[in-house]
Amino acid sequence: MHWNFRGQSVFTLMLLLTLSACRQSVVPLPAPTLPRVVPSAPSSTTAPVTEPQPTVINLAQVPYALAWVSDIEPLAVRQPAGITSMAVASLASDQRGLTITGKTTLMGSSTWVEINLPEGGKGWIRDWNLTEDVPSSTFCEDIRIADLANQFIVAIRERDGGKLSELVSPKRGLIIRHDWWNPEVNLAYSSVPGFFLDPTPINWGVNRDSELEIDGTIREVILPQLEDVFSIAPELNCNKLGAGSTARDAMWPSDYSNLNYISFYRAAPDPGSQLNWRTWALGIEYLAGQPYLTLLIQYRGEI
């Protein structure tokens, strides 16, 4: 099933139900579990019944893509693992279709993974720069994304950090950008349950229009702007940014070119300033085939 955000798709109906009844109960997303057990087929003989054997996902056969790699500077592949080791190849930020050998090693606080190079040979890169390679068409037809979006809205409307943490990537935690061009703010996975209550002031970057620093807690700075988008039913898009009038084009950052995302677009009021629109994009990453929220990026009208 393909999402049709402008029609009455299942995704849209789930969203409308959430906005009209945001206190509804939501079943938490299951965490990925390995190994998976596949029930055995009924036997037509009198042979004794044996316990079903687990089927283990072979991650070495899962295709991967690069992420968190600048389109200005290719990623160095090293041999052996480690940032001081010799670079044996380089990969562009949009590289997809990589496979891993299954070998990993811990170097300081970073996990390094051995990959098979596209042109032959092997080398090592940080696990942080790998993400499961999911085609856009597959992502936009995955009905679990509608459920994730639904639960995200409920978590924001109810200010429930526990619900939010069920959606967030255990690998990366939650990465937030106040504006797509401002720097990342990395919220550790263990800190996500306190998303709505954390009293820690954070620097979110700079306001381009005023050139002033953006400082404040998540509750003071980010939460009001998230809630603003869901004050009405926003426009939904898959791997596309909804945007209104602005002096600078809204762009999905090139560092995340291989990550899929959905966007919530709240149009500018009419009458009113056409710059008063807002979009939040949710970057989604798969772990062992399960989609998780990884990124929150804001877009808005700029002078």
Would you say residue 15 lies in a domain? yes
Integer Cα distance of 70 and 57 in angstroms: 30
163 to 149, 200, 233, 292: CA distances (angstroms):
12, 21, 21, 13
Name every residue whose Cβ is closer than 8 Å to that of residue 110 and which is 6 or more positions away in sequence: 126, 127, 128
262 assigned to some structural domain? yes
Tell me which of 90, 113, 132 is where a domain ends. 132
* Residue 171 covered by a domain: yes
Is 230 found in the same domain as 124?
A: no
What pTM did the predictor assign? 0.80
Phi, psi of 229 (to 5 degrees): -65, -35
At 55 the pLDDT is 38
221 and 171 together in one domain:
yes
Are 92 and 139 in a shared domain? no
Distance CA 258, CA 88 (A): 23
In a domain, 39, yes or no: no
Q: Are 130 and 258 in contact (CB under 8 A)?
A: no
Q: How far is CA 260 from CA 193, 279, 295, in A?
A: 24, 16, 10
37 part of a folded domain: no
Is 35 contained in some domain? Answer: no
Report the CATH number that the domain containing residue 70 is assigned in CATH. 2.30.30
Please check whether residues 252 and 264 belong to one and the same domain. Answer: yes
Structural domain range at position 180? 10-27+135-300
pLDDT at site 249: 84
Domain boundary among 81, 116, 132: 132
CB atoms inside a 10 Å sphere around CB 273: 11
Short-list 255, 197, 227, 215, CA closest to 73? 255
Residues 176 and 110 both lie in one domain? no
d(CA 206, CA 102): 42
Q: Are 203 and 239 in contact (CB under 8 A)?
A: no
Q: Are residues 101 and 139 in the same domain?
A: no
Domains held by the chain: number? 2
Rounded Cα distance between 145 and 139, Å, is 8
144 and 98 part of one domain: no
Cis bond leading into 271, ω under 30°?
yes
Count of other CB atoms within 10 angstroms of residue 234? 22
* In a shared domain, residues 144 and 75: no
Q: Is residue 50 part of a domain?
A: no
Say whether both 268 and 174 belong to one domain.
Answer: yes
Check whether residue 126 and residue 148 sit in a common domain: no
Please report, in tens digits, the pLDDT of each residue of the chain (303 residues total): 344 444 334 444 445 444 444 433 333 333 333 233 333 333 333 444 344 343 344 556 789 999 999 999 999 999 999 999 999 999 999 999 999 999 999 999 999 999 999 989 999 999 999 999 999 999 999 999 999 999 999 999 999 999 999 999 999 999 999 999 999 999 999 999 999 999 999 999 999 888 899 999 999 999 999 999 998 889 999 999 988 888 788 899 999 999 999 999 999 988 888 888 999 999 999 999 999 999 999 999 887
Say whether both 246 and 193 belong to one domain.
yes
Q: What pLDDT, on the 0 to 100 scale, is given for residue 41?
A: 37
C-beta separation of 199 from 172 below 8 A: no
The last residue of one of the domains, among 132, 160, 185, is 132
> For residue 253, what are the CA distances in angstroms to 142, 223, 273?
23, 22, 26
* Token pair 């562009």: residue: 92
Q: Which DSSP state fits 240?
A: S
Do 194 and 105 reside in the same domain of the chain?
no
In a domain, 38, yes or no: no
